Amino acid sequence: ELLCHGAGGPEIVTSKGYEDAKLGINPDQWPAFLAIVAEAATVWPTKHHRDLVARICEQNKAELCFGMEGQGATDLDVAMDSAAPAFVMAAGCPFSGQSGGQCPFSGSR
């Protein structure tokens, strides 16, 4: 949820502020976690996409690590209104913001 929402996707964050929902990373091990993130991000075809994943993780560190309540948490817009749509089609690429072109993953336009 955090990664998809941070990338501009339609996901609604439901885990913000819940210690039990965190990935459970020890803040002292954050650099090692980011190294794993960088390795996993190699599935994306461009440096732009790989850097975006790392940036989103950095912005959500307090929501990924145990014991960081209220420390550097980002202001994620959590839709609390039941009338809010659960899914909204993006007008452009959630990574670059550009519209048109071809998706590097699916090949669709």
Residue 14: its pLDDT value, please? 83
- ∠ CA 76-54-12, nearest 5°, is 30
Q: Is the entire prediction scored with pTM above 0.75?
A: no
Q: Please count the other Cβ atoms lying within 10 Å of the Cβ belonging to residue 78.
A: 13
Q: Cα separation of 14 and 90, whole Å? A: 20
- Three-state DSSP at 105 gives coil
**23 touches 67 (CB < 8 A):** no
pLDDT category at 11 given cuts 50, 70, 90 is confident
- ∠ CA 79-53-24, nearest 5°, is 70
99/86: higher pLDDT: 99
Contacting residues for 62 by C-beta, under 8 A, at least 6 apart: 68, 69, 70, 71, 72, 73, 74
Residue 93: its pLDDT value, please? 66
Q: Cα separation of 95 and 42, whole Å? A: 15
